[in-house]
């Protein structure tokens, strides 16, 4: 979510790249190097491809056309043109530019596959790709163009086009320019592709996988934020933390649920507000509303779904996706590992759970604003209801985002449009699933930010009773960041954006954990 410069170096080729590696390169410009053992394997398998170049038997991607044109045998003198034509024709994306962090993640993951030696690429080509990434040169990739089968063809082709010294890129400072100019400035010599290299550069699920890894990273942090805002809402609405007791959650041993409930217990510990209504004679409420009482059940199920998605991503990070591949024993074999179904399914699943987590957050927020349900607070938490509107329209903003997230939860992976003259007759739409998940993760950040802002206002309005030390620390961080204490109506949008930045940067979690210790 945030971007800084890193001094970290990511070594590719000693095993699968990690989630941390992807984030370090994509968001923090970490330097990439290739392990020498991987380069030796790249050289060995390149020799296999070169041995096939003069073979009278056609080999897909080496001496044939592509897709539905695979039956055409290409003579030796046209092989270089074949690779150039493949990349140029497939760099056919359209629409808005894709975010820099996504393109950098995509490039790292393609480098990771190339470094396995299973693609038959030349060492020179691989090292030039690494040099482009390390120079901060980011090819311009467009929103539309991938069907998520045969890999993310158009997005990867725009990167391969840049490797050839063609097309358009942005430099480290974000300036858009011709690739040739960026390469000259960085001292990089463009690559003239040879047999099989065009396919090796474009035939992978790296774009959708990169977006999956980034989304999982963000969602893991946002789940902690969701527990913080839920604790603040339960506290501010005079709810009970008794329902978060460990023995109650042990009766339903869902692992994520237990972790979320433990977080809520830590966050609400030593709350004066909670203690003020513990006496059953003074508080006649038997049960809290579902949005309060069932917070760990919902957030816990989201946690478990995110961890399942992380397991799938882990399998993909350990994969070498290309077609054909050079097997360890030297065979060159066609396969279908480029199909994005495993990644597409979990991308869609995450959009579903993100929408539901946002939905329960919005319901908790709404309860604060209704005098029939907020237990003694003013209407809309306004300073002078009627003259002031308080957080009335902040909830409208939340509702609009949640409604959008519900639409984004409609799965992309159930759709398929045949392509390539029916050769590629079933596709995953995983890239589309990833693109909508990114919007959903951003929406969740904003929904939680509005709950944070509203719950903090309510906790302030409970004075002189004090909230728990943990939630008080979060309120203090919000105030110190520039969101003022309750008062008459003011321009609210900047306060919401302040809260959004605190959520997205992880500052909310940092403030809470300074009191609670590490949250689950």
Q: Which residues are catalytic?
A: 60
Residue with tokens 């005098």: 371
Measured CA to CA, the distance from residue 417 to residue 341 in angstroms comes to 14
Measured CA to CA, the distance from residue 450 to residue 432 in angstroms comes to 28
Give residues with Cβ within 8 angstroms of 284, minimum separation 6. Answer: none
Per-residue HEC secondary structure of 135-151 comes to: CCCEECCEEECCCCCCC
CA neighbor of 288 nearest in space, from 299, 301, 274: 274
- Residue 519 burial (10 A CB sphere; 0-12, 13-18, 19+): buried
In this structure, are residues 159 and 207 in contact, taking their beta carbons and an 8 Å threshold? no
Measured CA to CA, the distance from residue 356 to residue 402 in angstroms comes to 8
Measured CA to CA, the distance from residue 335 to residue 324 in angstroms comes to 6
In this structure, are residues 255 and 304 in contact, taking their beta carbons and an 8 Å threshold? yes
Residue with tokens 């520039």: 482
My answer on whether omega of the bond before 49 falls inside 30° of 0, hence cis, is no
């Amino acid at each position: 979510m945030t971007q800084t410069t890193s001094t970290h170096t990511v070594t590719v080729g000693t095993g699968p790249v990690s989630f941390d590696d992807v984030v370090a390169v994509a968001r923090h410009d970490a330097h990439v190097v290739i392990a020498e053992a991987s380069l030796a394997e790249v050289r060995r398998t390149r020799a296999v491809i070169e041995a096939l170049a003069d073979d009278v038997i056609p080999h897909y991607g080496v001496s044939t056309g592509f897709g539905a044109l695979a039956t055409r045998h290409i003579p030796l003198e046209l092989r270089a043109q074949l690779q150039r034509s493949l990349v140029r024709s497939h760099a056919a994306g359209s629409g808005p530019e894709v975010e820099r962090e996504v393109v950098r993640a995509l490039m790292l993951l393609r480098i990771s596959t190339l470094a396995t030696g299973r693609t038959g690429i030349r060492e020179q080509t691989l090292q030039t790709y690494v040099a482009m990434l390390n120079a901060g040169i980011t090819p311009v990739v467009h929103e539309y163009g991938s069907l998520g089968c045969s890999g993310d063809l158009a997005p990867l082709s725009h990167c391969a086009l840049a490797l050839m010294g063609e097309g358009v890129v942005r430099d480290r400072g974000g300036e858009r320019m011709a690739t040739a100019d960026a390469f000259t400035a960085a001292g990089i010599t463009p690559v003239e592709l040879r047999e099989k290299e065009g396919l090796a550069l474009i035939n992978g699920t790296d774009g959708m996988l990169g977006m999956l890894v980034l989304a999982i990273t963000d969602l893991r942090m946002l789940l902690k934020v969701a527990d913080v805002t839920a604790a603040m809402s339960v506290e501010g609405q005079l709810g009970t933390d008794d329902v978060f007791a460990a023995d109650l959650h042990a009766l339903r041993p869902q692992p994520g649920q237990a972790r979320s409930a433990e977080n809520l217990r830590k966050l609400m510990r030593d709350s004066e507000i909670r203690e003020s209504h513990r006496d059953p004679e003074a508080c006649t409420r038997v049960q809290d509303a579902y949005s309060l009482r069932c917070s760990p059940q919902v957030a816990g199920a989201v946690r478990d779904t995110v961890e399942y998605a992380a397991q799938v991503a882990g399998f993909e990070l350990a994969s070498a996706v290309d077609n054909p591949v050079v097997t360890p024993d030297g065979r060159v074999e066609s396969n279908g590992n480029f199909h994005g179904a495993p990644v597409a399914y979990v991308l869609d699943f995450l959009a579903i759970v993100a929408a539901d987590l946002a939905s329960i957050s919005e319901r908790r927020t709404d309860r604060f604003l209704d005098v029939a349900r907020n237990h003694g607070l003013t209407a809309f938490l306004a300073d002078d209801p009627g003259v002031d509107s308080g957080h009335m329209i902040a909830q409208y903003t939340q509702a609009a985002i949640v409604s959008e997230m519900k639409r984004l939860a409609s799965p992309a992976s159930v759709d398929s449009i045949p392509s390539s003259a029916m050769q590629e007759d079933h596709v995953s739409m995983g890239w589309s699933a990833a693109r909508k998940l990114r919007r959903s993760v951003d929406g969740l950040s904003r929904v939680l930010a509005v709950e944070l802002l509203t719950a903090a206002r309510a906790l302030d309005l409970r004075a002189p009773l004090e909230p728990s030390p943990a939630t008080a620390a979060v309120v203090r961080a919000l105030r110190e960041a520039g969101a003022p204490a309750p008062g008459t109506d003011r321009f609210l949008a900047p306060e919401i954006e302040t809260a959004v930045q605190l959520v997205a940067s992880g500052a909310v979690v940092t403030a809470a954990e300074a009191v609670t210790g590490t949250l689950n």
